[in-house]
Amino acid sequence: MIDKKEWVMIKALKQGMTYTVIAEYLGIDRKTVSKYKNNFESPKY
């Protein structure tokens, strides 16, 4: 699970960057980036 800060970063970085680059930058799995990249709501806890 990612926190809201990481979710915001994914949204900010999604333009022009691949899932792999974003994942490496944030230190999370590429599949997690893929899951949240097109999600329009922040994660709920």
Is 43 contained in some domain?
no
Is 44 contained in some domain?
no
Instruction: Show the DSSP H helices in 1-45 as ranges.
Output: 4-13, 19-26, 30-37
Q: Tell me the residue range of the domain where 33 lies.
A: 4-37
Question: How many domains does one find in the chain?
Answer: 1
From the list 18, 4, 24, 28, the residue with the least C-alpha distance to 39 is 4
Q: Give the model's pLDDT for residue 22.
A: 82
Q: Give the model's pLDDT for residue 29.
A: 92
Is 45 contained in some domain?
no
Is 42 contained in some domain?
no
Is 12 contained in some domain?
yes
Q: What is the pTM of this model?
A: 0.63
d(CA 44, CA 39): 12
What pLDDT, in 10s, does the model give residues 10-38? 777 777 788 888 888 889 899 988 887 77
d(CA 4, CA 22): 15
